Amino acid sequence: MIIATNNQGKINEIKKIFHEYKIHSLKEKGLNVDVLEDQDTFLGNAKKKAKEIYEIIHEETIADDSGLCIKALDGFPGVMTHRFLGDNATDRMRNEYLIHEIDKYNDRSAQVICSLVYYNGTKFIEAEGVLDGFISRECRGKNGFGFDEIFELPNGLTLAELSPKEKNEISARAVAIKTLKKRLESHNI
């Protein structure tokens, strides 16, 4: 199977959790493709990525889209999590912006949502994972990527303060992958 992403953090997480399957990144297959995420849902973006990559390489494809949804900001940044400050913004710039924005509100609750799909050229198999938490008051932790350093769990630790193993047991992506694995097995894939 091919993972339809160039994000090394996602590749590492998916390969660790999906260890029973032979998974290849786009780079390992010699592809330098970046699918435009222009859909208005995580599931829409995941399906678009899976289908476009499948049409190039004609191999079973796994794709995801995930993001941070902050309750007080009406779900922002949502599907724009990686792009809301433009293509040149760093994770730290986005995280500091979100901390500044959420400081205006009492409610710091947020969710990480991950939509994950498998596509074999004829059908999609879908899964979703959700992780509830809060936006921290500062960036904390050195592990992870994206918004991990500001997504605080109910135990007070950010995702970036967890070990990769600990994160892979609870993350929205881990939940989605485990669900997808069960669905693939029920389809004898």
Q: Which of 66, 167, 53 is nearest to 111 (CA)?
A: 66
Q: Would you call 65 a catalytic residue per the annotation?
A: yes
The active-site residue out of 64, 65, 91, 148 is 65
CA contacts within 13 A on the Cβ side of 59: 13
For the record, the structure tokens of 185 come out as: 């097995």
Active site positions, annotated: 65
